[in-house]
Chains A and B, each alone.
Chain A
Amino acid sequence: AAGVIQSPRHLIKEKRETATLKCYPIPRHDTVYWYQQGPGQDPQFLISFYEKMQSDKGSIPDRFSAQQFSDYHSELNMSSLELGDSALYFCASSLGSGGYEQYFGPGTRLTVT
């Protein structure tokens, strides 16, 4: 079965640079979620979109923005990168806004040097 696709899988950036992470949900899923997991920490919810509209917002820094496109894929844009942004970034998708089950992608490992 098709799963959530994230690209790139690994990304190395320098401080103050920008990064764009992409997420392709499971086919027919219309809801996307972004999570951040720092080293040794539990996943933290950042933001979600349902039918291309922002639905819920968690602890997303102002330097980060995201959007969901007409084909339901989503992009997380991160600017003025800081060392503390080094983390695993997971995207999840679900069918409908009820969110009974969220299916997670393999993650993008971002390293900021």
Chain B
Amino acid sequence: AQTVTQSQPEMSVQEAETVTLSCTYDTSESDYYLFWYKQPPSRQMILVIRQEAYKQQNATENRFSVNFQKAAKSFSLKISDSQLGDAAMYFCAYRSVWNTGKLIFGQGTTLQVKP
């Protein structure tokens, strides 16, 4: 069975600075997808960025980028130029290529952005 681990329950960053959230996962599969989701307080979860395991190039979406290390089973999220609106809980998630598409989530990291 696949597992996802986020070892940082809380992180904080100064506005305009850069922060990196860590995620490791365990799987025996070679093809899969990885995601970072953002869940603002009392608001619904939204997708931040996704990575296909077969792609060597790290995904980037504006201020958000990932460092995908397949051999190490590591998938970190870097947020550049942090903004107050980035404050939220961030979840790393795994999706197998072969099953129903269910997501396996980590425990989450609460990000605080200080003005």
Query: Is B truly associated with A?
Result: no
Chain A interface residues (CB < 8 Å from chain B): none
